[in-house]
Amino acid sequence: MSGHTIRFLSAEEVRKALPMADSVEAMKQAFAELSAGRTILPARTHMAVTEPPGDFLIMPSYMKSLGRVGLKTVTLFPGNRAKGLPFINALVCVFDGSTGQAVAVMDGASLTAIRTGAASGAATDLMARPESQVVAIFGAGVQARTQLAAVCAVRKIAEARVFDIFPEAREAFANEMSGELGIKVRPVATSKEALDGADIVSAATTSETPIFSDNDLAAGAHVNAVGSYKPHVVEIPPETVKRAYVVVDQMEAALEEAGDLIAPMNAGEIGRDHIRAELGEVVSGAKPGRPSDDAVTFFKSVGVAVQDLAAGCRALEGAERLGLGREVEM
């Protein structure tokens, strides 16, 4: 039996092979296929580790249109920060859907950051007002960076404000991203200052309590939230959720993991019908992304495995085109 090769991609190679604009389009395809029922998406498996505390996530998926199977493993260990190690580590594996053979293994942390940002980019493109120019970014980590990059890929952004509880982190973010994106990025000391006049808000924090006051959020703003992925974690004020037009990545996943939605549901403040659409339904045109110009729109993403598969396939295509990665014969 003849052997086959697997292409291995490092974090830097993933970033080169997967430009943000390509990833945004891949996310639109993935969400459209998901909402149309043309994917297989088992529930994410979560295993909590206690000594030291950490989380293992296992995420398989299949997309018929791509003819590929994907598997992502993610670990989140808070204690890594004190050791000078990444908080999040991940691998993404892509398999041929007709033979079951592995075709690629790539760094999952870089891909996760890109595809998470790209999901918000897709939502922003479909839900934010076309004239949006000012962005408020909450958080100053890796995810926050791709959130801003994705928004800039779909809107002509003139200014971004970044708020993080650590002054040195927001300063570093502003310096790095203003140079990378060629826009004005300003570090601010309060959430209120970040939201002043903001058309688009992206939240990518580890906070378990609301990170801003709903009173400071302007009418017509669009909000992306990706930080909360556990039922008890609430990043966005319930008051904002209650008045917003809510779209999620996938209904089932959101109802199981999105604390931003689960908390007000459990309190009787909203019902399940407050979630107006899945993003894939907005992509296909089955449902609107914005009901009116002055409505607050809210995209809540907990992340689903078809995103990783779609992004992984785009990264593999880019790597093959650019000659990136290392091929190993199995």
**For residue 28, how many C-alpha atoms fall within 13 Å in the half-sphere facing its CB?**
18
In a shared domain, residues 249 and 168:
yes
Q: 78 lies in a domain?
A: yes
Residue 14 sits in the same domain as residue 25 = yes
Distance (Å, whole) CA 302 – CA 249: 7
Domain tally, the chain? 2
Print the domain residue range for 176.
126-304
Same structural domain, 131 and 33: no
pLDDT at 2: 57
Give CA–CA dist 233/202, Å, rounded.
16
| Pair of tokens at residue 87 | 């908080």
Return d(Cα 326, Cα 8) in angstroms, integer: 5
Q: What is the CATH number of the domain that holds 36?
A: 3.30.1780.10
Q: How high is the mean pLDDT in each 10-residue block of the chain (330 residues)?
A: 84 98 97 96 90 92 96 93 90 97 96 96 98 97 95 98 97 96 97 97 94 96 89 92 97 92 95 97 97 97 95 98 94
Residue 227 lies in a domain: yes
Assess if residue 119 is contained within a domain.
no
Residues 280 and 160 in one domain: yes
Q: Is residue 116 part of a domain?
A: no
Together in a domain, 147 and 220: yes
